[in-house]
Amino acid sequence: MEPNTVMIFFSLLFGLVFGSFLNVCIYRIPLNKSIVFPPSSCPSCGHRIKFYDNIPVLSYLLLRGKCRYCRAHISFHYPVVELLTGLLSMALFIRYGVSYQYILAFLFIITLVLISFIDLHHQIIPDILSIPGIFAGIAVSFIPGHVTWLDSLIGAVGGGGILYLIAVIFKKVTGKDGMGGGDVKLLAMIGAWVGWRALPFIILISSLSGIVIGGGALMMAGKGYRVRIPFGPFLSLGAIIYFFFGRQILGWYFHLFLV
């Protein structure tokens, strides 16, 4: 079914609302709290947030980024997550329309967003997200129109194996831990969803973006400061870029050298 303007707009709204739920997950999952109960409240004063103060993006702007009751600052990542999820939902809906492909792709992409922001804030990638994500990716591969189950399985084993091998070599050479176990499981999850052929591109984009952004952060921090930058968000970024543009970028790259 071809999506029309109204349906595309509703896909944006759906993503914005789901992004608000992701913010709850980002805050509560690392603390082992329920994502359902109790209702949302201000982390500073504990006051329950009314529905009209919980409208995605709009409430943040109207309240000027502060709690209505204690005036404590509300992190800018809340509207960023909501807007990002909304835009990704709209982009996926434009591509797939009303279909199961939209639902599956949306679940995969929002899991990457969720993992990225948890890793940014807490320096962890919860197993409760990555491990079920691996099995979900393999299960989806049995549905026609996706990567084959063999590509998915090789992607999961190869993705996790590559980073694990890098982590082992890095520790032997430097004596320090370089790659966390969460990153290993995250790339295994990504490989299960997109297949092993996508892994070189994703690793390349993740590494390049990590060098550029990480190097910039280190320069801004100045000498004498140690900044720990998680790699999970860069892996997620590489996977999202591949999901939307990977085949076009690879096609352009090979055409450049073959013509």
Question: Which of 57, 80, 98 is at the close of a domain?
Answer: 98
**Looking at the domain assignment, is residue 118 inside a domain?**
no
**Looking at the domain assignment, is residue 113 inside a domain?**
no
What residue type is 208 in one-letter code? L
**Looking at the domain assignment, is residue 106 inside a domain?**
no
Please give the Cα distance from 224 to 222 (Å, whole number).
Answer: 6
**Looking at the domain assignment, is residue 141 inside a domain?**
yes
Look at the chain and report how many structural domains it folds into: 2
Do 163 and 225 reside in the same domain of the chain? Answer: yes
SS3 category, 38: coil
**Looking at the domain assignment, is residue 112 inside a domain?**
no
pLDDT, tens only, 178-211: 677 899 999 999 999 999 999 999 999 999 998 8
Is 217's pLDDT higher than 80? no
Looking at per-residue pLDDT, the higher value among 111 and 5 belongs to: 111
Bridge partners of 99, per DSSP, are: none
Do 89 and 199 reside in the same domain of the chain? Answer: no
Q: How would DSSP label each residue in 179-210?
A: S-HHHHHHHHHHHHHH-GGGHHHHHHHHHHHH
Do 142 and 245 reside in the same domain of the chain? Answer: yes
Please give the DSSP secondary-structure letter assigned to residue 4: -
Q: What's the whole-model pTM score?
A: 0.91
Tell me how far CA of residue 31 lies from CA of 25, 36, 112, 180, in angstroms.
Answer: 10, 14, 19, 19
- Which residue's structure tokens are 């090979």? 254
**Looking at the domain assignment, is residue 120 inside a domain?**
no
**Looking at the domain assignment, is residue 145 inside a domain?**
yes
Question: Which of 82, 98, 114 is at the close of a domain?
Answer: 98
CB proximity list for 216: less than 8 A, separation 6 or greater? none
> Which is nearest to 89 in space by CA: 77, 104, 106?
106
Do 242 and 183 reside in the same domain of the chain? Answer: yes
- Which residue's structure tokens are 């980024």? 65
Tell me how far CA of residue 75 lies from CA of 23, 29, 149, 168, in angstroms.
Answer: 11, 17, 41, 36
Bridge partners of 73, per DSSP, are: 66
Bridge partners of 48, per DSSP, are: 41
Looking at per-residue pLDDT, the higher value among 56 and 178 belongs to: 56
Residue 105 has which token pair? Answer: 């792709």
Do 186 and 67 reside in the same domain of the chain? Answer: no
DSSP run (H or E) holding 111: helix 100-122
Do 246 and 145 reside in the same domain of the chain? Answer: yes
End-to-end CA distance of the chain: 37
Given a contact cutoff of 8 angstroms between Cβ atoms, the answer to whether 168 and 201 are in contact is no
Do 57 and 167 reside in the same domain of the chain? Answer: no
Is 246's pLDDT higher than 80? yes
**Looking at the domain assignment, is residue 159 inside a domain?**
yes
Q: How confident is the model at residue 104 (pLDDT cuts 50, 70, 90)?
A: very high
Q: Which residues constitute the domain of residue 35?
A: 1-98
